[in-house]
Amino acid sequence: MKLKLTDLVNSQGTLEFNFSVGDISLEEINPVTIGIQLKLNIQQSGPNFKITGTANLILTEMCDRCLDNYKLDIKAPFSIFVTTQKSLKPGFSESDVILLETNQRDFNLGPTVHDAILLERSIKNLCKEDCLGLCSNCGVNLNNGYCNCASKKIDEKWASLIEINFSHSE
Ligand SMILES: [Zn+2]
Ligand SMILES: [Zn+2]
């Protein structure tokens, strides 16, 4: 996922392009489409660039609660500082910066996008906020309709109560 510095300079502030999931090593995910759409905002200050952007793609995920597959529309935000200056201002961690050699003309945005997607993905692992999950007794997906377990449990309680009452009265 190489970007050229001249692309940044000529971008006039925004860049949009698509690339394939295969360009970054994302074996952990299960994409619905192989394309990742990138939208970048670029601010230049001398030889330095600040890139903020989002990576958009759609994944197939498994819900933690009901174990159903669902489509997750990911819009992963990221920002990175591209510079040749080794003396970085404090406050930048290594993952915030792509450090270039003085004669370097391109750089790889892949790791940044990779991390942004994985971070965004780990936040959401439910098919919906109010997923009802599976019945712990019969395993029915309660999003698709209720099972009879809840009413059966009440019946069983009544049955044992009646038995107790009988044994007392004898
Ligand atoms: Zn679910
Ligand atoms: Zn049930």
pLDDT in tens, 43-58: 998 888 999 999 999 9
> Ligand 1: distance of its center to the CA of 134 in Å?
8
> Ligand 1: distance of its center to the CA of 34 in Å?
24
Q: 146 and 68 in one domain?
A: no
The percent of the chain in helix, strand and coil, each rounded to the nearest 5, is: 30, 35, 35
Question: Among all chains, which residue has been given the structure tokens 């990779």?
Answer: 114
Q: 166 and 114 in one domain?
A: no
Q: 113 and 32 in one domain?
A: yes
Q: Could you give the CA distance from residue 34 to residue 23 in angstroms, rounded to a whole number?
A: 10
Q: 40 and 105 in one domain?
A: yes
Q: 35 and 9 in one domain?
A: yes
- Label the pairing between strands 69-83 and 97-99: parallel
Q: Could you give the CA distance from residue 60 to residue 73 in angstroms, rounded to a whole number?
A: 9
- Label the pairing between strands 106-108 and 2-4: antiparallel
Q: 140 and 118 in one domain?
A: no
The total number of structural domains that make up the chain: 2
> Ligand 1: distance of its center to the CA of 68 in Å?
6
Q: 150 and 119 in one domain?
A: no
pTM of the entire predicted model: 0.75
Question: What letter represents residue 54's amino acid?
Answer: T
Contact 97, 80 (CB under 8 A): yes
Q: 124 and 43 in one domain?
A: yes
Q: 156 and 91 in one domain?
A: no
> Ligand 1: distance of its center to the CA of 84 in Å?
47
**pLDDT per residue over 70-101, tens digit each?**
998 999 999 999 998 877 666 677 778 999 99
Structural domain span for residue 118: 2-131
> Ligand 2: distance of its center to the CA of 163 in Å?
25
Q: 112 and 67 in one domain?
A: yes
